Chain A
Amino acid sequence: MVELNCKNVISDDITAELVYADKPFSFVGGVCIQDGIVQDYRHPAFKKQITGKIFAFPFGKGSSGAGLVLMEMLRVGTAPAGIINIRTDPVILTGPLIAKHFYNQLLPVINLSEEDFASLSGHKTIQIFKDKEVLIAN
C-alpha cells in the first residue's frame, strides 16, 4: 500500500480497480463507447475495459471530440469510475465538468506529479477521497 498526495480536480469517495497506461490517450477513436474497451491498438491499455475502473494515463491527445465521447459513455454506462492524469487539458476536463454541473454525476479527475504517476504502475486498486487530497494505491 502507498499513500500519495494528489490534486483533486473533481473529487468523490470511491475505490476501484486501476487501469494504468504510460501513454497519452484520445477518447475519440481510442475507446469503444458501447463496451468501454480500449480499441487503439498502439495504446498500452489496448483491449482493456475501462468501464467502472480508475483509468490512469499521463494526459490527453488528439481530437477535441473527447468531451462528447465521455458524455456518451456516462449516458450508456460505460464510462470509467475516475481518471488520473499528470495534467488534464480542457479537452479531457469538459465531459466530467459538464456531467458534474448539469447531471449531478461525478466522474472524479485526479492529478499526480510525474513521479507519483509512474509509481502507480503495478498497483491493483485505487482509493480516492471527497474531502482530502490523498490517494491510496494497493
Chain B
Amino acid sequence: MHLTDYEKALLQGDHGEARRMAMNVLYDMAQYYEVDRFVEIVSCHDDSTVYFGEAQVAFTEHLVDIGGKFAVPTSTNACALDMNKWKEQRHDRSWMTATRRIEASHLQLGAAANWTCAPYQAGFAPSFGQQVACAESNVINYVNSIIGARTNRYAGPLELLAGIAGRVPYFGLHKTENRKAVSLMRLADDITPDMFEDNDIYNLISHLYGKIAGDQIWALEGMPTNVTLDNLKQFSSTAASSGGIALFHLIGLTPEAHTLEMAFQGGKPEKEVLITKEMLREAEQDLCNFEHEGKVDLISIGCPHFSYAEFEALEQAFAGRKLPSDTEFWVFTSRCTQQSTTDSGLLDRIKALGVKVFLDGCTMEYPIDKWDTKSIMTNSGKFANYCYSKIGIHPVFGNYKDCVETAIAGKVVRAKKKWWN
C-alpha cells in the first residue's frame, strides 16, 4: 500500500493513540479490499447516534478517553429521541440517559451536534466531487446521487474512525469508474406528467427502483426535471430502504447523469426494465395498508427530517383547520429547521393547529409498548418499509395532504390517485 509520510506517522502513533487505532482498523480494511492507497475526506456524517446498546456508548467514550478528535467537520445523525421532550414521547429514562452519554461523547470528539438525518438541509452539504465518509442510508444516497459527492456505505461506528483519521481506503464509490450505471430503468408512457403533482409518486418509483436495482447502480430515464429537493430526499431515503442502494442516476436531473452516455460513462446498459403504471399500483400495495379504514392512532411524518418548505406546505394543507383534540399528529425535524421556522413564526402557527413537533429523534424509535397504538399513517416510503419490522404495524401510506385530511376527518382519507385509472 502506498502511504504518505503523514499516514505512516498516523499508523505509528505519532499523532496520538486514537488516530493510530483508527488508522490501523482502516488499514486492515484496505488490505481486505486490496486497496493501494487512502483518500482524504473533507467531512463526515456520524450515524452512531441511535441507541443500540452499551457497547456502542462505551466505544465512543473509549475513543474520547484515548484522545479522539474528529479531523474533519462531522455532523451527527438523528438519535433515538427528542432530548428535551422524551417524556412527552414516553421514552424510557434509561434510553434518555444513554442518549445523553452518546451526546456528551460525540461532542467531546468535536462533532457539530445538529442531530439530523437530513444534514444536507441543515448546513452540512458537501460539494460535487468531494470525498466524504457518511453513514445513514438516506444521507449516503443523497450525498452520492443528488450532490455528486463521494462516499461508500459506511457503518456505525466505522465512520467515527474515518472522521478521526480524516481519510478512508480509496475504493468503491470514491473512484469515478465505480460510479457508472450498469443498467437502465425507463418510465413507461402510461406514467404521465400530471401524476407528479402527487408527492406519493416519488416514493412509489424509488421503492421500485430499490427493489429492482438491489445493490447495483442503475440509471432512471423519464423523470421530470422540476423536482423539489424534498422529493429527491424522499427518493433517496425510500430507494435506500427497499434496496441496498448507495448511488442512483436520474437522467437529466442528477449531476453525474446529464445524459445517458454520461451516466454509463460511454458504456451500454446490461439490462433494461420498464416501470409501468401497473407497477406503481403494486408498489403502493407494498407500502400501504389498504385494509385499515377507520381512525388512525398516530400520524407520523418527517422521515427524513422535515424541511422549512415542507412545513410551509403542511400549513397550507391544514388551511386553518385545527386537529381534533384526540389526534396524535407528529412531525420530526432538525434543530436547524426549528430555528428558522421559529424566527418566521411558522412553527408557532403549526403548533397552534395541534401538531406536535419533535427534534433530534427518529420516528422509527416510537416506543410502541408505551402507547395504545394500533394504526399508523405516514407519507414516508422509508418509514412505511421499516414500520412493520421496527414497530409491528403495517402503516397507511399517503402524502402529507392525505395525512392532514385523515387527521381532520378522523378516518382514512386518501385522494384518488391518477395511477389508479
Q: What is the interface of chain A, defined by CB distance below 8 A to chain B?
A: 9, 29, 33, 40, 61-69, 71-72, 74-76, 88-91, 93-94, 97-98, 100-102
CB<8 Å pairs between A and B, sample of 6: A9-B32, A64-B156, A65-B156, A75-B53, A94-B154, A102-B21
Q: Does B59 contact A (CB under 8 A)?
A: yes
Q: Does B137 contact A (CB under 8 A)?
A: yes
Within the complex, what minimum Cβ distance (angstroms) separates A80 from chain B? Answer: 15
**Within B38-93, which residues are at the interface with A (CB < 8 Å)?**
47-48, 50, 52-56, 58-59, 62
Q: Does B198 contact A (CB under 8 A)?
A: no
Contact in complex: B48, A61 (CB < 8 Å) = no
Complex CA–CA separation, A71 to B152 (angstroms): 21
Contact in complex: B53, A68 (CB < 8 Å) = yes
Known A-B contacts: A65-B156, A75-B58, A101-B24. Give 18 more (CB < 8 A): A33-B52, A40-B389, A64-B136, A64-B137, A65-B50, A68-B56, A71-B56, A72-B56, A74-B55, A75-B55, A76-B53, A90-B29, A90-B158, A93-B32, A98-B59, A100-B28, A102-B21, A102-B59
Contact in complex: B21, A64 (CB < 8 Å) = no
Within the complex, what minimum Cβ distance (angstroms) separates A66 from chain B? Answer: 6
Q: Does B244 contact A (CB under 8 A)?
A: yes
Complex CA–CA separation, A69 to B154 (angstroms): 14
**Which residue of chain B is the closest to A8 with respect to CB atoms?**
B32
Residues of A within 8 A of B156 (CB): 64-65, 67-68, 94
Q: Does B155 contact A (CB under 8 A)?
A: yes
Contact in complex: B158, A98 (CB < 8 Å) = yes
Complex CA–CA separation, A90 to B231 (angstroms): 29
**Within B18-39, which residues are at the interface with A (CB < 8 Å)?**
21, 24-25, 28-29, 32
B32, B54, B157: the one within 8 Å of A67 (CB): B157
Complex CA–CA separation, A61 to B214 (angstroms): 10
Residues of B within 8 A of A97 (CB): 25, 28-29, 158
Q: Does B323 contact A (CB under 8 A)?
A: no
**Which residue of chain B is the closest to A72 with respect to CB atoms?**
B53
Residues of B within 8 A of A94 (CB): 154-158
Complex CA–CA separation, A88 to B155 (angstroms): 13
Contact in complex: B244, A69 (CB < 8 Å) = no
Residues of B within 8 A of A75 (CB): 53-55, 58
B24, B58, B155: the one within 8 Å of A90 (CB): B155
Complex CA–CA separation, A67 to B386 (angstroms): 19
Contact in complex: B158, A72 (CB < 8 Å) = no
Q: Does B135 contact A (CB under 8 A)?
A: yes
Q: Does B349 contact A (CB under 8 A)?
A: no
